[in-house]
A = this chain, B = another copy of it.
């Protein structure tokens, strides 16, 4: 009789990207599959370098892997620090006890703090497959989390990751629920607020499906890949920063939940509150302003929805010791002119420098938000924040502060110009009545944004502009002729992205 075969396989990098899902690829006739009784789609514990994660099994039928080899999805490969040829140990994962709490929630029971903590910890540890996460989100949606459970869930998400402490009583932050294209107020707000002396350590995201995230736009002007110690130095020196949140591990459960929520197109109030507030509490904020654009095509469609959301945000914030103020704004139109990192950076710099041609709507929004945040400070009276913000901006102090922040983050950069552009002209005279945000964003992406910083779309005629035949409507910017072609080819097949009504 031979020795019992060891469940060890040699790793081979297949380079398959499944986003955040861990997948292990094994041969159907693999001795480990036989010995362990693994079936397709089984959950398998993969251990390497003292780390381990649970992966979903995909079987490989022919020549992709040699006998004795296994492959990993890129997500699993990176999480295990795998190297070509590493020997990995595969086995049955231990049972995931928190799934019984999830089933209890499905059956309508309220969950306790420790039960929600166990669920969140297991999600962060990768023990839930997408199927489990989807079930958990669904069980909590439709108003099935009570106020106490929302507080427990938010706290559990904070506890599952790192938490920053700035050693100050007043640390302010902002968040926008359901962003609008071009609405790049954050760097302006940070500059104004920090210039007044408040602490505002801002972490922002990169684009997932849009042509630019705040981190992408800020990166045009300064480095944003700062770790926590580097971020701390900037904030100690300049009171504020705008860095990429991805290099800081705050509320790691949130990224995993949001991905599945997006696939379900499910916005549950409880999850939204826990998602927003857990990130802010983990970032060490004491006070946060939440901007809720309301409009027929925005995420929040009515004032009633906005008010209900505001109530949950404020109650949960109070329970967890963070001051929350909700500001509703007009969500019916895009903001500014540029769409794409460099073009948006140009707009926000124009506002900070008080240029005459700076987009007024972007300036107004930034001043509104800055005013509210300044009022978190005990030395600013309610109702006087906006005037103070305007003074700081108009005086040039905000621009000076922004430049100092950029220097502290690693050095301010010049905004690059795109080598290839194409003007799109009006084919008739009249008045611009509508701009299709979704399709104009697609043009910017086809032109290369956000990977190519200079790529994007520059809008020349906001809604209401009177146009003549041949007048430039917008300019497409690209880094290569091929990408410009992609965007222009798409435009050829599409009509009415900018609607003009003949008069």
Say whether A51 faces chain B, with CB atoms less than 8 Å apart: no
Of chain B, the residue at the smallest CB distance from A109 is B142
Point out the residues of chain B lying under 8 angstroms from A138, CB to CB: 106, 134-135, 138-139
A106–chain B nearest beta-carbon distance, Å: 5
A266 x B135 contact (CB < 8 A): yes
User: Given the interface contacts A131-B264, A134-B134, A265-B103, does A4 sit within 8 Å of B61 by beta carbon?
Assistant: no
A 135-169 to B, binary, CB cutoff 8 A, 1 in contact else 0? 10111011100000000000000000000000000
Q: Report which residue of A58, A59, A135, A138 has the largest number of chain B beta carbons within 10 angstroms of its beta carbon.
A: A138
Give the shortest distance, in Å, between A450 (CB) and chain B (any CB). 12
- Neighbouring B residues of A131 by C-beta, 8 Å: 130-131, 133-134, 260, 263-264
Q: How far is the CB of A142 from chain B (nearest CB, A)?
A: 4
- Which parts of A7-53 form the interface with B (CB within 8 Å)? 13-19, 21, 25, 28, 34-35, 37, 39-41
A132 and B5 contacting across the interface, CB-CB below 8 Å: no
The answer to whether residues A135 and B132 also contact, given A37-B446, A58-B16 and a CB cut-off of 8 A, is: no
A172-189 contacts to B (CB < 8 Å): none
A347 within 8 A of B: no
Chain B residue with the shortest CB-CB distance to A130: B131
**B264 close to A486 (CB less than 8 A):** no
Q: Given that A1-B485, A34-B486, A131-B134 are known contacts, is A15 also in contact with B63, CB under 8 Å in the complex? A: yes
With a cutoff of 8 Å between Cβ atoms, the chain B residues found around residue A263 in the complex are 41, 129, 131-132
Known: A131-B134, A263-B41. A106 touches B17 (CB 8 A): no
Q: A18–B73 Cα gap in the complex (Å)?
A: 13
Please indicate the chain B residues that have their CB under 8 angstroms from the CB of A99 in the complex. Answer: 265
User: In the docked arrangement, what's the CA distance between A286 and B414, Å?
Assistant: 78
The listed residue (B4, B106, B266, B485) touching A492 by CB distance below 8 A is B4
Number of copies of chain A assembled together: 2
Name the B residues within 8 Å of A453 (CB-CB): none
Q: Chain A at the B interface: mostly helix, strand, loop or mixed?
A: mixed
**B15, A132: Cβ atoms closer than 8 Å:** no
The answer for the CA separation of A143 and B109 in the assembled complex, in Å, is 12
Q: Which of B3, B17, B61, B137 contacts A40 (CB 8 A)?
A: B17
Among candidates B21, B35, B266, residue contacting A490 with C-beta atoms closer than 8 Å: B35
Bound: A485/B25 CA distance, A: 25
Q: Which residues of B contact A209 (CB under 8 A)?
A: 39
Return the contact of A25 from the options B16, B63, B142, B446 (Cβ within 8 A): B16
**A41 and B446 alpha carbons, distance in the complex (Å):** 19
Does residue A74 face the partner (Cβ distance < 8 Å to B)? yes
A108 contacts the other chain (CB 8 A): yes
Contact string, A360-392, partner B, CB cutoff 8 A, digits 1/0? Answer: 000000000000000000000000000000000
- When C-beta atoms are compared, the residue in chain B nearest to A21 turns out to be B41
| Min distance, Cβ A297 to any Cβ of chain B, angstroms | 15
Looking at A35, A263, A492, the one whose CB has the most chain B CB atoms below 10 A away is A263
Nearest Cβ distance between residue A314 and chain B, in whole angstroms? 23
A264 to B103, CA, bound (A): 9
Q: Is A493 an interface residue (CB 8 A)?
A: yes
Q: For the complex, is A357 an interface residue (Cβ under 8 Å from B)?
A: no
Residue in B closest to A108 when the chains form the complex, CB atoms: B142
Given contacts A34-B486, A35-B489, A131-B264, 19 further A-B contacts (CB under 8 A): A1-B485, A1-B488, A1-B489, A3-B489, A16-B25, A16-B59, A18-B40, A19-B40, A19-B41, A39-B208, A39-B209, A64-B64, A99-B265, A106-B141, A108-B142, A130-B131, A135-B135, A135-B264, A138-B138
Q: List 22 A-B contacts (CB under 8 A).
A: A1-B488, A4-B489, A4-B492, A14-B64, A15-B62, A16-B25, A16-B58, A18-B40, A19-B41, A21-B41, A37-B442, A37-B445, A39-B209, A41-B263, A99-B265, A107-B142, A131-B134, A131-B263, A132-B134, A134-B134, A138-B139, A139-B142
